[in-house]
């Protein structure tokens, strides 16, 4: 497609980060009640430059540099949302969200319920999360389970530039508070994005990204791309893997997941967070309850280890990669482990958990 045609149809080749920037810009342009707040989001354009140029275009009254005080940022945003604004808060790194944790779980999550729906809480909290960029603890964590466990919050994570653009706009338009987890190691990956297309799925919907009929592979955020690569590699060996991008971590859209598991009878769940009490545990338990008589093998989780995030030189051993995910696929297919040659079956391979 020529550049002229692309301009006419709204198609652009954008990075993941640029797609979020475009989504924020569109929301700011469409609604004067939308505000962007956070540390260095204005003059600097954010530590990852996601808000680059927004203060210059919309002014310092709508794109606000805040003090280094996450609890104060979120608390201020709660007041603004209470008065009808739609604030978008940026937390610089995943591990910095904990000072604001009390505000989020005690106030943000509960105000609609506490007021019996009379007060909306249209607050979006953007959090770059996950590893893979060579940073230590507090800069590479995966805290999504804390928030998915808290009733009253929507928790979502896009995995590609098109979803990054549409889901940030859907989140800002939502009257519920949304925790928007951005896989920071995907910020610089490019794809064609249609800036004029209507969202093809609601904010809370899961998506089948690779069809298959032998194994269901469930992922979200940064690991969706790795899961797609695993499905491609498995296909080279004659194994058909269906990859599902959860997209919404709370609430979970179980319909596509159940349909896939009932078809394949085998399920592998992968995420970067530790295994114990992670989102994979909830997905495995719920799918076992819902699809027990269709399962040929117990679900397998391929996750980070239950340790503090390791030094950057060791993170490649901590994060689930192509080989570990394929080993999980081998395990539910009762094939000999490709990693260690162990006997077949889910109990034979360690896919995460204790280091």
**Choice among 118, 138, 139, 271 that is catalytic:** 139
Residue 317 a catalytic site member: no
Q: What is the largest CA-CA distance in the chain?
A: 62
Q: Which of 85, 13, 88 lies closest to 50 in space, CA to CA?
A: 88
Q: Tokens for 253?
A: 């859209």
Q: Which of 145, 227, 218, 219 lies closest to 179 in space, CA to CA?
A: 145
DSSP category for residue 258: H
Q: Tokens for 74?
A: 């979120």
Q: Which of 273, 210, 275 lies closest to 244 in space, CA to CA?
A: 210
Strand partners, 243: 210, 217
Q: Tokens for 226?
A: 């790795």
Distinct helix (H) and strand (E) counts, the chain: 13, 14
DSSP category for residue 125: E
Give the Cβ contact number of residue 259 at 10 Å: 15
Contact 181, 212 (CB under 8 A): no
Catalytic site positions? 139
């Amino acid at each position: 497609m020529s550049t002229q045609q692309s301009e006419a149809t709204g198609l652009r080749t954008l990075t993941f980060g640029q797609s979020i920037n475009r989504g924020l810009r569109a929301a700011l342009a469409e609604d004067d009640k939308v505000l962007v707040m956070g540390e260095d989001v204005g003059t600097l354009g954010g530590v990852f430059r996601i808000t680059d140029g927004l203060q210059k275009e919309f002014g310092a009254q709508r794109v606000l540099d805040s003090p280094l005080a996450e609890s104060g940022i979120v608390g201020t945003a709660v007041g603004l949302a209470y008065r009808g604004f739609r604030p978008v808060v940026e937390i610089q790194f995943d591990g910095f969200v904990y000072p604001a944790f009390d505000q989020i779980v005690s106030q943000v999550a509960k105000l609609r319920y506490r007021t019996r729906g009379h007060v909306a809480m249209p607050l979006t909290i953007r959090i770059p999360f996950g590893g893979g960029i060579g940073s230590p603890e507090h800069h590479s964590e995966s805290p999504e389970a804390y928030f998915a466990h808290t009733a009253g919050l929507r928790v979502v994570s896009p995995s590609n530039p098109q979803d990054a653009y549409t889901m940030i706009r859907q989140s800002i338009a939502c009257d519920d508070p949304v925790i928007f987890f951005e896989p920071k190691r995907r910020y610089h990956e490019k794809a064609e994005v249609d800036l004029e297309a209507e969202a093809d799925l609601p904010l809370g919907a899961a998506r089948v990204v690779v069809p298959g009929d032998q194994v269901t592979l469930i992922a979200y955020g940064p690991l969706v791309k790795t899961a797609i690569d695993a499905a491609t590699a498995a296909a080279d060996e004659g194994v058909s893997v269906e990859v599902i991008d959860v997209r919404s971590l709370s609430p979970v859209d179980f319909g596509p997941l159940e349909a896939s598991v009932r078809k394949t009878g085998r399920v592998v769940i992968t995420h970067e967070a530790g295994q114990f009490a992670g989102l994979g545990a909830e997905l495995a338990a719920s799918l076992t309850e819902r699809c027990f008589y269709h399962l040929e093998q117990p679900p397998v989780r391929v996750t980070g280890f239950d340790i503090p995030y390791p030094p950057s030189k060791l993170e490649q051993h901590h994060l689930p990669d192509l080989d570990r995910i394929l080993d999980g696929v081998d395990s539910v297919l009762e094939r000999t482990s490709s990693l260690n040659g162990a006997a077949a079956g889910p109990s034979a391979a360690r896919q995460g958990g204790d280091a």
